[in-house]
Structure 1
């Protein structure tokens, strides 16, 4: 039963737990109260605590994490792209890796057939398709000094070191990589990387000019 319910590495850990040699009767307890009994109030507090921890993101510094979130909402792109970047930085997008952890999927492989686990960092930065996108001539300067970093760290570094048009292009390109990945599941082929880069840059520039004037 354990092998059917849990992932292989989880099942091995569970089965390695030593059992008591005494005939002790099993009882059900709730670990989040002093009386070991389930209470709706205690469950609510547990969920609040977990959400608070996850909202800190991958940074152990809470104030630094909050600074990143505020910076994202200040970027000069449309709100749907800001929301996407915020979700990507918090690792709450429905990647295969996240869906597998929730027991919704059991296949973590990237659709680009490069043997990578489809995590946020992989699909947006290092899979076969996204790697070609970021290595395009007009994006190399934006992505300089961003190798071997997680997506949230790349976003943070770019927001601190680049100008508004460059940040907007990075945000928009990341969103388009994800958007085309979703459409690929339904049979729509991904555009060639140079075309996606050109379209993302045009989209970002048009939004900047329409809402903030020419910032280049």
Structure 2
């Protein structure tokens, strides 16, 4: 952190350990006055006393609860008014490395998977997925499909979003969850069994990731590539 002039109090992640300051403030108290809200919609430099190049203690204490205020006061604004700069929070040096980002997103992927069995499957599919000869866009789609994080109707309803109906727009029968949308909807399933004959007899389709795993272990890397590319095309 430098002079705080390019850092927005609420929109930027500038306090170590706090990714979403707006959420933290709402969780702590929803009774902030309009005047306080207006002061938070400003740059971090507005919290610094320019005469001493240090925090305006009374303002910081008035705007934040003790936990957040203490975290802010542990930061050191630039005494010489240097410009702000971005730091990568997952390296002590603050310098961004692709390898560091890979480790970070891999950790997020495993932790977001939920059940241990699903987490174990994600570990097995992770390296083959990113090593496939596919565009980055298709790889990200496949990764999200394996995590069940695509915006199907079932997922949107679970997120309390107001949508019209929950049935599949193609067959008008089943609830449109990820497995149905990408694998089991009749028009889609017909295409799958033409390409992967084992889907009709040898494979048990319970989820997108389990089907991908079966294709990978019972088939080949090329078949896994075709599987992800076809799913992305639906």
Structure 1: give runs of 5+ residues left out of the alignment.
Answer: 1-28, 31-36, 42-50, 178-216
**Aligned equivalent of 2:217:** 160
What is the TM-score normalised by the length of structure 1? 0.52
Structure 2: give runs of 5+ residues left out of the alignment.
Answer: 1-26, 29-64, 70-107
**Structure 1 residue 100 corresponds to structure 2 residue 160:** no
Give the 3 Å change call, closer, same or farther, for CA 60–163 of structure 1 in structure 2.
closer
Q: Secondary structure at the match of 2:202?
A: coil
**Aligned equivalent of 1:170:** 227
What is the TM-score normalised by the length of structure 2? 0.49
Q: Secondary structure at the match of 1:60?
A: helix
Q: Displacement of 1:58 after TM fit?
A: 4.9
The size of the alignment, in residue pairs, is 133
| 1:71-100 deviation per Cα after TM superposition (whole angstroms, max 9, x unaligned) | 211222222111111000101111111111
CA distance in 2, matches of 1:103, 1:64: 29
**Aligned equivalent of 1:89:** 146
**Aligned equivalent of 1:112:** 170
| 1:80-134 deviation per Cα after TM superposition (whole angstroms, max 9, x unaligned) | 1111110001011111111111111342110113411111100011112211211
**Aligned equivalent of 2:128:** 71
**Structure 1 residue 127 corresponds to structure 2 residue 185:** yes
Task: Tell which structure's C-alpha radius of gyration is larger.
Answer: 2
CA distance in 2, matches of 1:53, 1:166: 24
**Structure with more of its chain in helix, by fraction:** 1
